[in-house]
Amino acid sequence: MKQELGVCYYPEHWPEENWAKDAADMTATGIRWVRIGEFAWSRMEAVPGQMTLEWLDRAIEVLGAAGLKVVLGTPTATPPRWMIDNHPDMLAVDENGAPRKFGSRRHYCFSHQGYRQECARITQIVAERYGKNPHVAAWQTDNEYGCHDTTISYSESAKVAFQNWCKARYGSVEALNEAWGNVFWSMEYAAFDQIDLPNLTVTDPNPAHVLAFRRFSSDQVVAFNKVQADILKAHTDAPLIHNYMGRILEFDHFDVGEDLDIASWDSYPIGFLSDRLEATDEHKARFLRQGDPDFQAFHHDLYRAVGKGRWWVMEQQPGPVNWAPYNPAPLPGMVALWALEAFAHGAEVVSYFRWRQAPFAQEQMHAGLQAPDGVDAPGMDQARAVAGVLDMLKEQDTQQADVALVFDYASDWAWKTQPQGAGFDYFRLVFSAYRGLRRAGLSVDIVSAACREFSGYKAVFAPGLATLDPALVLAISEADALAVVGPRTGAITEEFSIPAKGRPGVPSLDVRVDLIESLPPQAGMDVSGGGKVEHWHERLSGEAEVLLKSQDGAPVLMGQNGRWYLGSFPDEALWDRVVSMACEQAGVAMSPMQDGVRRRRFGSYEFVVNYNSFSASVSGHRVPACGVLVFEGNTPVVACDLSSG
Ligand code: GAL
């Protein structure tokens, strides 16, 4: 697979006479792709119905003539001001019933049919105009669905659409009452149009109602995206992309991905470390200017799955961002390391955000590869270094890993709806498993809970799956892989009630969950032989073998017939034990890693990245601080060392 660098560019922000030089400078830097257009609606159509696209024609021509491949965004994340005059009720409404007003971006409700038609109209116009343009080599729909908490809207349009969605799902209101358990607290409905959205209730709304609303909200994103995807497909053969984000879970990305060719995401490692991650103060201080050593990798692996193998980083942090509580600068080397790490996970393109820092508006404090005056910012040399490394590497393809980790958006919706313990969070749980696998030096594939094809895997981990489809466990076993499920796996039905037959309900595994308790942070339970249970503990019984137990004798991990059930939320040390026991059982070779150092297999290469501010040693070879060493077999073939700045 060919792997290339890209950049995000906003021609509408800069004088036209500068475009050609910018384009030439991009290619000289080693950049091959440029994404444009995704926020430019007010310049494409300043007055409703009067298209002004000639500037965009010229921008595409100038960039293309310089040898750049253009990713063209549909501009629907930023409806212009006149749109609100034409559709005053199109704004999303927050949980408190307040409209989310014009003046930034993403100010629309996914359920508003009028806005959806406007999006179809503008998509049709740009698709007809540029669908066969030789410079437009990929398309992006909208930008960052769900960003700024915009998936869920409590608008009138959402209410009506939700009632229709319920009608289609349940068929009759009696069936809905039955499914949700509405006899409880006299919540029964007599007609679908009585069903309101689950906000502003006196105390908790029915979790079944909330989960249904969250499923609906996710489906609305999928439907919204599909309108654009269908139009684009009719006019272009270029691949279609959506640009997702880090730890945004409100809609099912796998479902959106079904209608697209490539998944991309926005990787801002330093911003994420401070505002999107549970970690100790010590960890956050140690990686303040580097980002968490597993957070990016997790999303690379996740989006590889969402993109059915094809994925990019559409926006790569180039220097300090503007949106986290504190915005430190990356250590020298990190802007290159992040990109190379993405390539190691199989990214086709890593695209820096943005070419030049904007001197105006919300993101004027957000670095680019150039400062606002056009002088190179510190990130530029690192982008150049990445282009140099890419030139030295042979083309490779991602190969299947030994271990798969199941990820399921609906489980996050379920556990957000009824956490039962403040420390229990689905992403946190799955990510803690992922970290454990990476500490063991393993490459990991993330797969969706709908996956039924596991051949080639030796072990599959599926923590926290709210609803367990026994077919999933059977498929894992048929592939001869060890299945490690739990905690909290199979704890509810799809309609948010406790399964009638007891749980976890893993076929051919005689384990029963007798009692559940959640634990406050200071009340972890020690496990015999090392490690602790945190946040969540299930009392297990049954005939399966007890593989791990707490110091007072309670089973923590039980197994039988290649199926293991983990009843607790492990701390790091306990995950390390579970991972190493599973690897031993499944015949997976581990190579435990030093803190901050990670490895990833990629074709015939193995990339070792060092997130530490000091050098590390791997197999007797020095890996520079914030640097990358690429091995082929046991021999380092390429090094990226920019630590001297
Ligand atoms: C992304 C977004 C970009 C820009 C960037 C700043 O989330 O797609 O438009 O806002 O963040 O870091």
Q: Which residues contact 5 (CB under 8 A, 6 or more apart)?
A: 29, 30, 31, 32, 33, 339, 349, 350, 351, 352, 383, 386, 387, 390
With a pLDDT cut of 90, the percent of the chain lying above it is 98
Is residue 78 lining ligand 1, measured as CB closer than 6 Å? no
Instruction: Report if pTM > 0.85.
Output: yes
User: Nearest-CA neighbor of 599 among 636, 643, 642, 641?
Assistant: 636
**pLDDT reading at 563 higher than 80:** yes
Q: Tens digit of pLDDT for each residue in 215-240?
A: 999 999 999 999 999 999 999 999 99
pLDDT class of 190 with cuts at 50, 70, 90? very high
What string of DSSP letters covers 233-268?
A: HHH--S-EEEEE-TT--SS-HHHHHTT-SEEEEEE-
CB 614, CB 286: distance < 8 Å: no
pLDDT class of 643 with cuts at 50, 70, 90? confident
* pLDDT recorded at residue 287: 98
With a pLDDT cut of 70, the percent of the chain lying above it is 100
Side chain identity at residue 431, one-letter code: F
Q: Which domains does the chain possess?
A: 4-151+221-353+383-392 (3.20.20.80), 158-208 (no CATH), 403-586 (3.40.50.880), 597-640 (no CATH)
Around 200, how many Cα atoms within 13 Å sit in the side-chain half-sphere?
Answer: 11
Average pLDDT of the segment spanning 301-318: 98
**pLDDT reading at 33 higher than 90:** yes
**Length of the chain as a residue count:** 645
Q: Tens digit of pLDDT for each residue in 242-287?
A: 999 999 999 999 999 999 999 999 999 999 998 899 999 999 999 9
How far separated are the first and last CA of the chain, in Å rounded? 31
Average pLDDT of the segment spanning 311-317: 98
**pLDDT reading at 607 higher than 80:** yes
Q: Tens digit of pLDDT for each residue in 371-425?
A: 999 999 999 999 999 999 999 999 999 999 999 999 999 999 999 999 999 999 9
Is residue 600 lining ligand 1, measured as CB closer than 6 Å? no
Burial 296-308 (b: 16+ CB within 10 A, else e): bbbbbbbbbbbbe
Q: Tens digit of pLDDT for each residue in 514-530?
A: 999 999 998 999 999 99
Distance CA 177, CA 199 (A): 18
Residue 38 Cα: closest atom of ligand 1: 9
Distance 267 CA to ligand 1 centre (A): 10
Q: Which residues contact 6 (CB under 8 A, 6 or more apart)?
A: 31, 32, 33, 34, 35, 71, 312, 314, 349, 350, 351, 352
Average pLDDT of the segment spanning 122-149: 98
**pLDDT reading at 645 higher than 70:** no
Candidate from 104, 363, 364, 369 with most ligand 1 atoms within 8 A of CB, to mutate: 363
Distance 382 CA to ligand 1 centre (A): 20
CB 355, CB 26: distance < 8 Å: yes
pLDDT class of 181 with cuts at 50, 70, 90? very high
Distance 299 CA to ligand 1 centre (A): 16
* pLDDT recorded at residue 205: 98
Residue nearest to atom 12 of ligand 1 (CA): 321
Three-state DSSP at 418 gives: coil
Tokens standing for 541?
Answer: 């019984």
Side chain identity at residue 180, one-letter code: W
